[in-house]
């Protein structure tokens, strides 16, 4: 699939022009959000992504508001409210394009698969939500850990200027904290199927990123394939935050940031 630089994207230009007309705060928050989630240059399925992203942010805000404030992500919520306001839909379609309305089709085909899913791994994973209400909170919590890790990694390893000028076929974090396998695992866990549902329910979705990773390392999946999925999530978060394992007094390991 052809990928062009974000700064030349008609969709991004149209969105930010529309946002600036509503106020500089909305435009700045959207600029920051588009960079840190590494948004697709076409903004395909943008309304779906924003809907799920808002729910994930609300979930994080309930328990860990400092995580959002420390990364200036608390400003994203008013921007997402603006994007998702009913009166904003028609202007968005006119300014950005009809692709913002893309969604899963009747056959449940993912709207980004085949048009940049590997390049835009987090954006693709943010299209997913869990269809069962009783598991949606757990799924959003899991997405929250991956979102914060991705935002952290984009801030550590890239700049906004690099994001605007990047037109590579591979993700910007490849070789640093590549999210692809972790995001594939998260998408798998959105399935309404006994195996991924059991795996999702078995996760301990509490505490800091380091505590979450330690819980993942203690998990005992029922298959090597699922073990590899959890390992991919674990490795991405470790690399995103620059965590390292240290020996604890009890002979185990704990995670901390390197000095």
Give residue-wise pLDDT tens across range 57-101: 999 999 999 999 999 999 999 999 999 999 999 999 999 999 999
Among 13-17, 75-79, 250-254, whose mean pLDDT is lowest? 250-254
**In contact, 25 and 75? CB cutoff 8 Å:** yes
- Structural domain contains residue 148: yes
pLDDT digit string, tens, across residues 132-149: 999 999 999 999 999 999
**In contact, 150 and 38? CB cutoff 8 Å:** yes
How sure is the predictor about 245, in pLDDT bands with cuts at 50, 70 and 90?
Answer: low
Q: How many residues does the chain have?
A: 259
Mean pLDDT rounded to a whole number for the chain: 93
Distance CA 102, CA 112 (A): 9
- Structural domain contains residue 225: yes
How many domains, in total, are found in the chain? 1
- Structural domain contains residue 102: yes
- Structural domain contains residue 214: yes
**In contact, 51 and 62? CB cutoff 8 Å:** no
b vs e for 236-254, b when ≥16 Cβ sit within 10 Å of the residue's Cβ? bbbbbbebeeeeeeeeeee
- Structural domain contains residue 1: no
Q: DSSP letters along 140-176, please?
A: HHHHHHHHHHHHHHHHHH--HHHHHH---SS-TTTTT
Residue 20's φ and ψ, nearest 5 degrees, are -60, -30
Asked if pLDDT for residue 259 goes beyond 50, the answer is no
Asked if pLDDT for residue 183 goes beyond 60, the answer is yes
Domain that holds residue 174: 6-256
Mean pLDDT within 25-46: 98
How sure is the predictor about 110, in pLDDT bands with cuts at 50, 70 and 90?
Answer: very high
Percent of the chain with pLDDT over 90: 87
Asked if pLDDT for residue 201 goes beyond 50, the answer is yes
């Amino acid at each position: 699939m052809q990928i062009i630089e974000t700064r030349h994207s008609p969709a991004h230009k149209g969105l930010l022009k529309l946002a600036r007309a509503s106020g500089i705060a909305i435009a700045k928050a959207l600029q920051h959000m588009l960079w840190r989630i590494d948004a697709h240059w076409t903004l395909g399925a943008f309304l779906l992504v924003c809907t799920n992203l808002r729910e994930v942010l609300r979930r994080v805000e309930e328990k860990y508001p400092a995580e959002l404030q420390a990364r200036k992500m608390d400003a994203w919520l008013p921007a997402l409210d603006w994007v998702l306001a009913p009166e904003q839909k028609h202007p968005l379609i006119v300014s950005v394009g009809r692709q913002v309305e893309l969604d899963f089709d009747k056959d449940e085909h993912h709207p980004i698969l085949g048009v940049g899913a590997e390049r835009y791994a987090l954006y693709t994973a943010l299209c997913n939500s869990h269809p069962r209400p009783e598991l949606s909170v757990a799924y959003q919590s899991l997405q929250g850990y991956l979102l914060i890790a991705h935002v952290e990694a984009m801030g550590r390893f890239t700049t906004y200027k690099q994001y605007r000028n990047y037109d590579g076929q591979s993700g910007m974090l490849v070789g640093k904290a590549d999210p692809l396998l972790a995001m594939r695992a998260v998408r798998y866990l959105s399935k309404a199927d006994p195996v991924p549902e059991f795996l999702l329910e078995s996760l301990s979705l509490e505490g800091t990123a380091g505590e979450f990773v330690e819980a993942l390392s203690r998990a005992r999946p029922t298959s090597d394939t699922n073990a590899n999925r959890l390992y991919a999530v674990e490795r991405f978060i470790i690399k995103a935050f620059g965590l390292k394992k240290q020996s604890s007094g009890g002979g185990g390991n704990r995670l901390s940031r390197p000095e």
